[in-house]
A and B are shown apart, each in its own frame.
Chain A
Amino acid sequence: MPGLKKSRRYDPPIVTGVPASGGRRKPKAVYFFGTCLVDLFYPGAGLSAIQLLQREGVRVVFPRGQTCCGQPAFNSGYREEARSVAAAQIRLFSGTLPVVVPSGSCAGMIRRHYRELFAGDPLEAEAEDFASRVVELTQFLCGVLDVPLVDRGERIRVAWHGSCHALREAGVEDEPLRLLAQLSNVEVAPLSRERECCGFGGTFAVRHPEISAAMVEDKAEAVSATGADVVLSGDAGCLLNIGGRLEAKGATVRTAHVAEFLWERTRER
């Protein structure tokens, strides 16, 4: 259809990331759900995300009792174990604040699967309410806050890996690329087969290591072929996987979480 922007996203329909409480006005405060992988492996990305939000005048609340969304157990079939961990987060993040998550995978887990996980449970209503307030970081920065970004970094070439769950579960479309497009010295190099899985898949990587290895090798090759200085993603799992393979190959291309990259490029020194 001429004149219409072609959507990169396919059905099934995915909730837009904007929480009801966000609306047109920018929220004054948000919860930040850091996720377990960011907590342990990319805390700098978590802090960067918090600082990006604070710079826009948003009060960021980081409940210290938070742990994990429960996805590892849920995806392995251990629903009882996933539910008890998820329940702890639901109780902790009560109220009406939007919940910003620096991961498409964890945001997708909560938004798409908590309803099913808590069907018939006493916490069902709270779970649905929590899920409806969850929004992935780049969706929030771009869609809700509409952040202006001023690039203060040197010229750099980057590759963007949109994670499977960001694309297909959290409904992240071109928000990360729109944020990157604001950075005048950043060139985004096209990545071949960019929508293809990197082979992480949580426990999949260790349960079927040969298949996972073949997948991450192809992804690492595609990244190397872009000639990028750094490969960015909004998901820590993909970064651990792709970065681990690139490092093992002795490739010079670095990996970084998009939150950390955006903050480091734009913060006043």
Chain B
Amino acid sequence: MAKRAAAFADPVEWRDLRALGAAIRARSLTRLPELLEQLEERCRENGIAVHWAETADEANAAVLAILELHGAKRVVKGKSMVSEEMHLNDYLERHGIESLESDLGEYIIQLDGETPSHIIMPAIHKNRGQIARLFGQKIRDAEYTEDVDALTAIARRVLRRKFFEAEAGVSGVNFAVAETGTLCLVENEGNGRMSTHVPPVHIALMGIEKVVERLEDVPPLYSLLTRSATAQPITTYFNMITGPRSAGEKDGPREVHLVILDNGRSRTFADRELSATLRCIRCGACMNHCPVYTRVGGHAYEAVYPGPIGKLVTPQSEGVGRRHDLLEASSLCGACGEVCPVGIPIPELIVRLRAEAVGEGSGSEVRGAGEGRHALEAAAWKMWSAVHRSPGLYRAATLAASRLGRWMPGSLPVLSAWTKVRTTPRPARRTLHELADEKGIPDA
């Protein structure tokens, strides 16, 4: 958090750059359908084959078809959250294809049969000792060491061989430029370049929202992304992929494919407010600053995308009633909205989805709308409302609470959740209304 703050030390620059980033993303989303068509056209002109997938299943099938066409049995992967949505590794494994993660963090958790706990730092939940033991157990010929550089060298040795053996490479996409048909990939380890450059076939995966209009839209977003994610002014690698190896070139893949996945995004896109969810550039700053995420960790969310942005993405895709738990797990402190580099009003949208969950929102198109409404709770709010819109009832209720409230046992349901670590809240002996009467404060 301190590093990110230092990366945006000038509040005026932060405000302006963020406004620019938000505007670029919003503009791209406004023109999403036509930009996607333009992207497809430019990509085809560049020799990139484009595949559309409405669901994760369709995307998996598209990837498998490409791999089968080439008889590929070994795939090496760069980091991609879309592939996590697809559960691509499991899917390929079931079809007899080895799919190896080459991002160090992803490699670590894949070795341990886990899923990422953070979208930028997938193995953030593991410490050095755990990784040392894991490598010692799972990697053949690896000598046990707790030295970080030595551990990295072990992974590098394994992965280097895999890059050369793989018949295909899979990657994500950070930004897809519609006007040029360019796929931008942001990374630090060089594994992204190796995965997309060394194997003869490259398959890039992206959600429909990743498209931007112009090449000049990329630098501000890139700067916001790296500074928000890791407080870096720039990453070690920034790849711009514009097609397969052309005649006379000595390296690069023979084929490049782009799989564009919807997976519920167009439903989000259709909602005027919720479409801001799609501005996300997956920097993870909301997680790093969330007082809930930093205490429970990513796996507690039981979802592909954890943290505050996950509280918007997951309920919209799985249903707001089913994942009411995620929506409720927020104190609405606003730290996420404050650091979001593209100005997604995350707390406001959480509240909007809560309203959808209990059937009092404005968009019946939201999946599972109304399914989080419980009769008892709804009745309690009805009663609360009746009391608080009637001055007489309110006065009576607060008088009763101020006279009797201090004898309220802390073991009452609901209250007991509070009193487990706190003393029982005690109403004052007289309310402010009474004090105002006593002091003759004018009523009108």
Question: What residues make up the interface of A, taking CB atoms closer than 8 Å to B?
Answer: 1, 6-7, 9-12, 32, 34, 36, 38-44, 46-47, 50, 59-68, 70, 72-82, 84-85, 87-88, 113, 116, 164-165, 167-169, 195-197, 199-209, 211-217, 240-241, 243-245, 247-248
CA distance A1 to B57 in the complex (A): 52
A74 CB to closest chain B CB (Å) equals 7
A64 surroundings in chain B (CB, below 8 A):
391, 395, 433, 436-437, 443
**Are B10 and A36 in contact, with the CB atoms below 8 A?**
no
Given contacts A63-B444, A76-B358, is CB(A211)–CB(B439) below 8 Å? no
CA distance A109 to B15 in the complex (A): 23
Q: B376 in the interface, Cβ–Cβ < 8 Å? A: no
**Are A11 and B18 in contact, with the CB atoms below 8 A?**
yes
B442 surroundings in chain A (CB, below 8 A):
59-62
Residue of A nearest to B351 (CB): A75
- Contact flags B308-330 to A (C-beta < 8 A → 1, else 0): 00000000000000000000111
9-residue interface stretch from B90-98, B148-156, B189-197, B420-428: B420-428
**Are B360 and A197 in contact, with the CB atoms below 8 A?**
no
CA distance A34 to B441 in the complex (A): 12
* B380-402 at interface with A (beta carbon < 8 Å): 381-382, 384-385, 387-391, 394-395, 398, 401-402
Q: B19 in the interface, Cβ–Cβ < 8 Å? A: yes
Given contacts A81-B384, A85-B385, is CB(A199)–CB(B422) below 8 Å? no
Q: List 19 A-B contacts (CB under 8 A).
A: A7-B11, A39-B398, A40-B402, A46-B432, A46-B435, A47-B436, A79-B360, A79-B361, A201-B333, A202-B331, A206-B414, A206-B415, A207-B417, A208-B292, A211-B292, A215-B291, A215-B292, A245-B422, A248-B422
> Would you call the interface of chain A mostly helix, strand, loop, or mixed?
helix
CA distance A81 to B383 in the complex (A): 9
**Are B425 and A200 in contact, with the CB atoms below 8 A?**
no
CA distance A269 to B10 in the complex (A): 47
Given contacts A79-B360, A211-B329, is CB(A43)–CB(B431) below 8 Å? yes
**Are B355 and A79 in contact, with the CB atoms below 8 A?**
yes
| Range of interface residues on B (Cβ < 8 Å) | 35 or more
Residue of B nearest to A69 (CB): B388
**Are B12 and A1 in contact, with the CB atoms below 8 A?**
yes
9-residue interface stretch from B105-113, B166-174, B224-232, B335-343: B335-343
Contact of B331 among A43, A77, A197, A240 (CB under 8 A): A197
CA distance A195 to B290 in the complex (A): 12
B425 surroundings in chain A (CB, below 8 A):
41, 240, 244
CA distance A72 to B295 in the complex (A): 24
**Are A74 and B351 in contact, with the CB atoms below 8 A?**
yes
CA distance A64 to B441 in the complex (A): 10
Which of the listed residues B328, B331, B381, B428 has the most CB atoms from chain A within 10 Å of its own CB? B331
A202 surroundings in chain B (CB, below 8 A):
331-332
Which of the listed residues A40, A113, A203 has the most CB atoms from chain B within 10 Å of its own CB? A40
CA distance A200 to B422 in the complex (A): 11
Residue of A nearest to B360 (CB): A79
